[in-house]
Chain A
Amino acid sequence: MALSKKYELKIGPATREAFGKALAEIGRKNPDVVVCDADLSKSTNTHFFAKEFPERFIQCGIAESNMVAVGSGLAAAGKIPFVSSFSAFVINKGFEQLRVTAAYPNVNLKVVGTHSGISIGEDGPSQMSIEDLSLACNLPGFTVLAPCDEVSMTAAIHMTAEHVGPVFVRAGRSKAAHVYEPGAEFHIGGSTELLAGTDVAIFANGLLVAEALRAAETLDAAGISARVIDLYSIKPIDRAAIERASKECRAIVVAEEHLKDTGIGSRVAQVTSETTPCVMEFVGVDNTYAESGTPEAVVEKYGLLAKDIVTAVHKVLARKN
């Protein structure tokens, strides 16, 4: 057997860096774009924008609730504000403001949470955002995106600026493997089939996309044909791709750097239940908080590697038919 495509997965910049650079690019194109940060611009990478457009960069200090609502006010008055902080802070401390000042009146606010998931490593659980996708999906009208590499993050930030309506984008701290070639196309509500396959479909986003591709290689060697889909648009979700995978592969594994119980797995399962049900397994953080350690050690201990996806695939295949 042979994989439908070979991915080298060369290490590339973190998605937060891609975000920061894309934001500066957008700043050059659109004078209405303004940026708010809560004393983390060197980490979120909004500093690229701040350096180039200091007059359009609004330092909010360590006060995320105010920052989100200020962003909503800017949006309501016609600006295109990007507010950014660590995902754990902007989504948790800003949730009420996201709900009442952004989602409810449906203003054109853009929220970018960096340092998502547990792969931030050393800083530990207080900074690890493992519930952000779930919370963001709880905001009616919000678009929720979780790109996996430099190319897809750059595209996501451009889409976010062009889209009219509130958007949450999830970015990571650690370096991310190159999955896409420059020029790849993305759209809100879309997904990308990275590998064709017929025995099982693996849906992933963020850092787990590269792990899914590695898992597919291992599975291929064992004679299992795995389809790998990058589900970069969490909301709206690509229902057609999910239904097709369920019909054609009749087994699905969802892998994410998020709490397993409330992440995209539940959303994929909802779609299969509403269309064509199939057996499913889920890879994610299992009802716990992680701990400090190197990113590599942490993701290994909490089961977010290719080998964990392979195990899940074997489990789901044992239940198939």
Chain B
Amino acid sequence: MTKTSNPAELAAISKTVRRHILEMITAAKSGHPGGSLSATELVVTLFFDIMKHDPANPKWSDRDRFILGKGHACPVLYSVMAECGYTPVDKLNTFRQLGSIYQGHPDMRFIPALEASTGSLGQGLSVALGMALAARFNGSPSRTFVVLGDGEIQEGQIWEAAMFGAFHKIDNVVAIVDWNKIQLDGFVKDIMPLDPLVDKWTSFGWHVINIDGHNIEAVQKAFHEAETVKGKPTVILANTIKGKGVSFMENNPKWHGTAPSKDELALALKELA
């Protein structure tokens, strides 16, 4: 894989990834497009610019680690990992089929390069903190990144983990909240509001960075800032748009977990040409 810090190149990769996301979900006739599209710049920037990792040596012990807490958004992760060379791009359309390595939620049994099998919300942050602690024990420079859904952080375990991370000063972990304001049943504010979210994380002892999660330069800057913060963990609150990149999917709860039809796919791909 070729890494890049060039925002234009990262934007181009993001566009390719969005196309994969829509194609694989359409082929599977099920899946979660909205939250995959909202997290695209975050995951692309991590894998192609920020993280130290090597697809040819996925178990390198000092690698940076990535966990997708919101496992249902795996189309974005699969697409990015495939573009990195971890897994075949031409098999992405086997997503959710029997025997496919691209399982409905991330499954390490099928893709050993995954750092965690997720799908049950609320657990990824704790696992990430454990990995980051292990790196500290081992004197390893490894950092762990975990993408959480905004709906996901309604889970109580997230706040157990938030207390834990601050108390143990785990500064080699970065949580990124894909703050797209929508969950399965509707808008987060109507289901179980999170506000004031900046204050919540701050009061739990985390360094908080509040950004536009689709602005690649802002995303890069946030990750660099996180690296300089010592003695406390960092959370990046990435303001995003659910369904980003496809006009008819944006900000519409329907597209949390609905697959596009072939016609809708064609329309979407036209927008992502």
Are chains A and B native binding partners rather than an unrelated pairing? yes
Q: Which B-chain residue is minimally distant from A103 (CB atoms)?
A: B117
B131 near A69: Cβ-Cβ < 8 Å: no
List B contacts of A68 (CB < 8 A). 126
| A interface footprint on B67-108 (CB within 8 Å = 1, 0 otherwise) | 000000000000000000000000000000000000000011
A70 near B117: Cβ-Cβ < 8 Å: no
- How long is the Cα–Cα vector from A10 to B86 in the complex, in angstroms? 60
List A contacts of B118 (CB < 8 A). 100
How many residue pairs link A and B with beta carbons under 8 A? The number is 98
Whether A78 sits at the interface, judged by CB under 8 Å, is: yes
Whether B225 sits at the interface, judged by CB under 8 Å, is: no
Shortest beta-carbon distance from B159 to chain A in Å: 9
List B contacts of A105 (CB < 8 A). 108-109, 116-117
Q: Which B-chain residue is minimally distant from A65 (CB atoms)?
A: B157
Interface residues of A (CB under 8 A from B): 34, 56, 58, 60-61, 63, 65-66, 68-79, 81, 96-97, 99-101, 104-106
Q: When the two chains form the complex, which single residue of B61, B107, B137, B157 contacts A66, counting CB atoms closer than 8 Å?
A: B157
Whether B119 sits at the interface, judged by CB under 8 Å, is: yes
Interface size on B, residues (CB 8 A): 33
Shortest beta-carbon distance from B199 to chain A in Å: 21
Interface centre among B118, B126, B157, B167 (most CB of A within 10 A): B126
B117 near A78: Cβ-Cβ < 8 Å: no
Q: Which B-chain residue is minimally distant from A68 (CB atoms)?
A: B126
Q: Which B-chain residue is minimally distant from A100 (CB atoms)?
A: B120
- How long is the Cα–Cα vector from A50 to B140 in the complex, in angstroms? 23
Whether B115 sits at the interface, judged by CB under 8 Å, is: yes
Shortest beta-carbon distance from A307 to chain B in Å: 45
A63/B160 contact (C-beta < 8 A), A69-B127, A73-B128 known: yes
Given contacts A66-B129, A72-B130, A76-B115, 6 further A-B contacts (CB under 8 A): A61-B160, A74-B133, A77-B135, A97-B157, A101-B117, A105-B108
**Would you call the interface of chain A mostly helix, strand, loop, or mixed?**
helix
Q: When the two chains form the complex, which single residue of B109, B116, B164 contacts A70, counting CB atoms closer than 8 Å?
A: B164
Whether B123 sits at the interface, judged by CB under 8 Å, is: yes
B130 near A70: Cβ-Cβ < 8 Å: yes
B123 near A69: Cβ-Cβ < 8 Å: yes
Whether B168 sits at the interface, judged by CB under 8 Å, is: yes
Whether B268 sits at the interface, judged by CB under 8 Å, is: no
B167 near A73: Cβ-Cβ < 8 Å: no
Q: List 25 A-B contacts (CB under 8 A).
A: A61-B163, A63-B160, A66-B161, A69-B123, A69-B161, A70-B164, A72-B130, A73-B131, A74-B130, A74-B134, A75-B130, A76-B115, A76-B131, A77-B130, A77-B131, A77-B134, A77-B138, A78-B138, A96-B123, A97-B123, A97-B157, A99-B120, A100-B120, A100-B123, A105-B117
Chain B stretch 157-216: residues in CB contact (< 8 A) with chain A? 157, 160-161, 163-164, 167-168
A69/B130 contact (C-beta < 8 A), A58-B168, A61-B163, A100-B123 known: yes
List A contacts of B128 (CB < 8 A). 73
B127 near A76: Cβ-Cβ < 8 Å: yes
- How long is the Cα–Cα vector from A34 to B127 in the complex, in angstroms? 15
List A contacts of B157 (CB < 8 A). 63, 65-66, 69, 97
- How long is the Cα–Cα vector from A63 to B117 in the complex, in angstroms? 21
A78 near B126: Cβ-Cβ < 8 Å: no
Interface centre among A34, A61, A73, A100 (most CB of B within 10 A): A73
A74/B109 contact (C-beta < 8 A), A61-B163, A66-B164, A100-B120 known: no
Q: When the two chains form the complex, which single residue of B65, B126, B134, B168 contacts A97, counting CB atoms closer than 8 Å?
A: B126
A70 near B129: Cβ-Cβ < 8 Å: yes
Shortest beta-carbon distance from B250 to chain A in Å: 31
Q: Which A-chain residue is minimally distant from B71 (CB atoms)?
A: A100
Q: Which B-chain residue is minimally distant from A60 (CB atoms)?
A: B164
- How long is the Cα–Cα vector from A66 to B156 in the complex, in angstroms? 9
A65 near B127: Cβ-Cβ < 8 Å: no
Q: Which A-chain residue is minimally distant from B133 (CB atoms)?
A: A74
Closest CB pairs A-B (n = 9): A73-B130, A69-B126, A77-B134, A66-B160, A63-B160, A73-B127, A70-B130, A74-B130, A73-B131
Q: When the two chains form the complex, which single residue of A70, A96, A104 contacts B133, counting CB atoms closer than 8 Å?
A: A70
List B contacts of A100 (CB < 8 A). 117-120, 123
- How long is the Cα–Cα vector from A181 to B134 in the complex, in angstroms? 38
Shortest beta-carbon distance from A234 to chain B in Å: 25
- How long is the Cα–Cα vector from A104 to B118 in the complex, in angstroms? 10
Interface centre among B61, B118, B160, B163 (most CB of A within 10 A): B160
A66 near B108: Cβ-Cβ < 8 Å: no
Q: When the two chains form the complex, which single residue of B65, B123, B132, B138 contacts A101, counting CB atoms closer than 8 Å?
A: B123
Q: Which A-chain residue is minimally distant from B161 (CB atoms)?
A: A66
- How long is the Cα–Cα vector from A101 to B142 in the complex, in angstroms? 20
- How long is the Cα–Cα vector from A241 to B134 in the complex, in angstroms? 41
- How long is the Cα–Cα vector from A75 to B137 in the complex, in angstroms? 12
Shortest beta-carbon distance from A69 to chain B in Å: 3
- How long is the Cα–Cα vector from A78 to B133 in the complex, in angstroms? 11
- How long is the Cα–Cα vector from A92 to B164 in the complex, in angstroms? 20
